[in-house]
Amino acid sequence: QSLLTQPPSVSGAPGQRVTISCTGSSSNIGAGYDVHWYQQLPGTAPKLLIYGNSNRPSGVPDRFSGSKSGTSASLAITGLQAEDEADYYCQSYDSSLSGSVFGGGTKLTVL
Amino acid sequence: EVQLVESGGGLVQPGGSLRLSCAVSGFTFSSYWMHWVRQAPGKGLVWVSRINSDGSSTSYADSVKGRFTISRDNAKNTLYLQMNSLRAEDTAVYYCARVPDYGDYVLLDYWGQGILVTVSS
C-alpha cells in the first residue's frame, strides 16, 4: 500500500477532460514537498510529465496540467486523445521514509 | 542526447546476487544525483535507492536496505546497483534515472529503458 493514493483507473471519451487525484499525508504532500507526475505508455519507461506540482517540461502539451492543495494533488488532462492512454504516477518525498514515494498508479483508458 | 542504458539483468536463484549497471552519456554524469526505481510485473513504480553526485551519500528503501548497494564510477560514467540475498519479491524491471539540476532531489527527468531481473529457482 503506497503512501500516495491514486484511483486505479479513470476513463474518458476523446476530447473530454479527466482528472487523476493523488492523496498523501502530513509526511509528504502535506509537509510541503513537491509533487511530480509521470506518464508510462505501454511497454515503455516512465516519462516526466509535470514537475514541481504544476510545471511542464519542454515538449509536454499544455493539455496536461497539475495542481496541489493541502495533502493532495491532481493531474488534469483536457482534450483527451487516444495517445494519452497510459499509466500515470504521482511522486513526492516522504519524511517518514526519508526517501521518494510513488503513488500506486492510475490507468487511463480513452473510450 | 541524454542516454541511460541498463545492463546486467537476468535470471538468478533466490539468495543469489546480481550487479546492475547503468551507462550514461550526453551529460556530465559527475554533476548529477541518480536513482534506481523498480517495477514488478504488472505493478506500479517503487523507489529503490539514490546516490548523490560524488557518491558520498546514499539512501535506500526499507525493503532493500542491507541487501542492495548503490554506487557510481564517475570516471566511467556508470551507475551500479549491487543486489545480494535476492528474493522472489525482487523480481522486477529496474530503471536507472537522473535527477535534474532543477526541482527537488527526488524528481527524475531522464530514465533508462529498464532491465528485467527475475529471481526464481
pLDDT for residue A100: 95
* Positions of chain B with pLDDT under 70: none
- Residue A99 pLDDT exceeds 90: yes
Chain B residue with the nearest C-alpha to that of A48: B109
| Predicted confidence (pLDDT) per residue in A50-86, tens digit | 999 999 999 999 999 999 999 999 999 999 999 999 9
**Chain mean pLDDT for chain A:** 96
* Half-sphere exposure of residue A95: CA atoms within 13 angstroms, side-chain side: 10
Q: Determine what percent of chain A is predicted with pLDDT higher than 90.
A: 98
Q: How far apart are CA A47 and CA B56, in angstroms?
A: 28
Q: How far is B108 from chain A (nearest CA, A)?
A: 7
Q: How far is A54 from chain B (nearest CA, A)?
A: 12
Q: How far apart are CA B114 and CA B121, in angstroms?
A: 23
In one-letter notation, the amino acid at residue A16 is: Q
CB atoms within 10 A of CB A60: 17
CB atoms within 10 A of CB A103: 27
- Identify the residue whose cell numbers are 551507475: B79
- Residue A20 pLDDT exceeds 80: yes
Closest CA to A4 of A83, A84, A100, A98: A100
pLDDT for residue B51: 97
- Cβ of B47 and A48 within 8 Å? no
pLDDT for residue A84: 97
Q: How far is B33 from chain A (nearest CA, A)?
A: 13
| Predicted confidence (pLDDT) per residue in B52-75, tens digit | 999 999 999 999 999 999 999 999
pLDDT for residue B103: 80
> Is the CB of residue B42 less than 8 Å away from at least one CB of chain A?
no
pLDDT for residue B104: 86
- Cβ of B95 and A46 within 8 Å? yes
* Residue B118 · residue B91 · CB < 8 Å: yes
Maximum alpha-carbon separation in chain A:
40
pLDDT for residue A106: 98
pLDDT for residue B101: 87
CB atoms within 10 A of CB A41: 13
pLDDT for residue B105: 87
pLDDT for residue A107: 98
Phi-psi category of A31—alpha, beta or left, where left has phi over 0 and alpha has psi -120 to 50?
alpha
Q: Quick one: cell of B82?
A: 549491487
- Identify the residue whose cell numbers are 497539475: A66
